[in-house]
Structure 1
Amino acid sequence: MAIILTFLGKGGTGRTTVAIAAAKRLASEGKRVLLAGQDTSPAFGLLLGASVGPDPQEIAANLKAVQLETAVLLERSWEQLKKLEAQYVRTPFFKEVYGQELGVLPGMDEALALNAIREYDASGEYDAIVYDGSSDRATLRMLGMPEILTWYWRRFRGVFSGSELGKALSPFVQPVTSAVFNVGWTTEEIGGQPARDANDLLERGQAAVADPNRVLAYLVTSAEESAIASSRYLWGSAQTVGLTVGGVILNRSSSVAALGDRFDPLTVTPFPTRQGNDWEPLIDALPNFAQGSRAPRPVEIDVASGQVRLFLPSFDKKQVKLTQYGPEVTIEAGDQRRNVFLPPQLKGKPVKGAKFQNGYLIVSF
């Protein structure tokens, strides 16, 4: 399994430059690195100084690069879908539809990019994958996707099977699905083995995003107030989706004092301006990514004290909405939403109170 590293910051702060320098740094340490960029314009290749396409290409020792082209990823994923259809459906109906004919729907870019990163990770060919997304909110939506889809599957499956409609349809689901698919399903097991496999995949992805030794982000900012404000907002949003932020990279400035205490307790690392094709000063200036996992974790559950602690920097109490539905607590901060599944010891207990303290939202049961 590879460590997946990404960078968040306002457009124009040099995220792509930092990502390339990070990939070069990790490769120089002997790690097998894949640099995955979602910018399909020529700018990515020009900055990298190499021709990059939809398949990983070696551009230096231990370093490969790939441009995640959505149309190409869609074609390949469609062929995989048709193979699954042929395996489970008695009379396949997608066989006459080809990936080259399909248009790209909104939001599909992130889903296809996430699946591509998952496949590169599962290949075992890389020790590190550096992901340079097209935008920060899109990156957060992408990494939050396993959490969101797992919630939808868990909740709506239970709601449907327990509803009057589900109970009324129950006698007919098995014979109808047996006529269409190679296996019969019930209302309690809608989707059968393919659904179980997909849910297992989502749960593994959810666990990976929540593990700072597997997925880690760094903020990139300049000394401009708008860039600092954007980075602080992205910091809190990343924590909301369960993504650990390991530190801050201050680009084009050496005055760390200019940031004050606005990113405490994260370490701020000054990053010089690139001069021509000389990457060495940039590579040398980068932080030790292995220490990023020491940053505050997004969620901590203390069963003994009956508390759930969420680290939500940059947000105040007025910007956070807290709701409880059965065994889950839902936290909305900014435009992100996080569902915290409570352990058995706290299930069924109502929320007694919530408060902000030193950047933490502390929920007591």
Structure 2
Amino acid sequence: METKQVAIGLEGIVVAESDISLVDGLNGRLVYRGHWARDLAIHHTFEEVAHLLWFGHLPNESELQQLKQQLAANRSLPDHVKNALDGMPADVDMMSALRSGVSLLAEQGHDWPPTMEQVIALTAKIPTIVAYRFARMQGRKPLEPRPDLDHTANYLYMTKGQEPNPAHVRALDAYLILTQEHGMNASTFTARVVSSTRSDLVSSITAAIGALKGPLHGGAPSEVTEMMEAIGTKENAEPWLRRALENGERLMGFGHRVYKTTDPRATALSVVAAELSKDDPWFELATHVEQVALRLLAEYKPGRQLNTNVEFYAAAVMRAIGLPDELFTPTFAVSRTVGWCAHVLEQAANNRIIRPASHYIGPMPD
């Protein structure tokens, strides 16, 4: 029998040419359509970067206002989706509720190829599904979307049930920009596989949410927030971290499978955190813990290149703005929908069904 080289998990296999993003782990670079992602997060808004990923260029003022208006006009959920969310048992987790809610958005169309109108409408509704379900889980009446608020501010308003703090909107906006897109990851690949069969946009995004739900992909900030809460104060940072390292424990929020140097997403979020640290004790603690942790990691694990990853500052952002751990992965989905849709559109523009082979290693019949 012929021996074939097998790339477990398709690691190192190039399956598509794309001009959407570059993820350069060796050099710590993340590029969205010719722009540094860190600069986009610091200087632009969620809607501007979504326009870049979907249309290929940053919008002028007229294009930006049109996209904002389209997103605002498509936020409300149809009654059948609300009824389904209302009827879910209390123990159904947020990602399962989001996956089910999205799958019911039949009015977004089941035709192929997907349209930009469908992309915008679906992206607009996903934050509403998350906020609606979360409100029900808290035992309060869900708020209706506010068309006067931008995408991130409206999500915070609906989720927290109160007027959003501008500083918190700024921090979350930066995080959502940095997680809109990240190359051919598991959920993005899933979306492209489904789209390659000429299935509809709703099916592609539903499948992507299913992939993101897995703990090896979507992740959670709980371990980072638990570490930060255990440290508690700036004065306790070095003793706590040094004790953890001497006990052979891993410092959560440091090191990354892809990035062998500084995670550019963490760099951008740290800039935003530094701007806000004077107004928020949690950000101030986070920046201090990072400085101490990097110094101690260099001391205890020289040459390991254990740098701050995006989850460290993502946890800091989530904690500071008051979003609980169960909203971390759903909030990730709110942003990553933009990238998923960009890849679905790209797949549809030059489609060939994705159909890899497997190598049979079972017995042959006599």
- The TM-score by the shorter chain falls in which range? under 0.3
Higher relative contact order (CA 8 A, sep 6+): 2
Task: Provide the TM-score with structure 2 as the length reference.
Answer: 0.23
Task: Provide the TM-score with structure 1 as the length reference.
Answer: 0.23
Higher helix share: 2
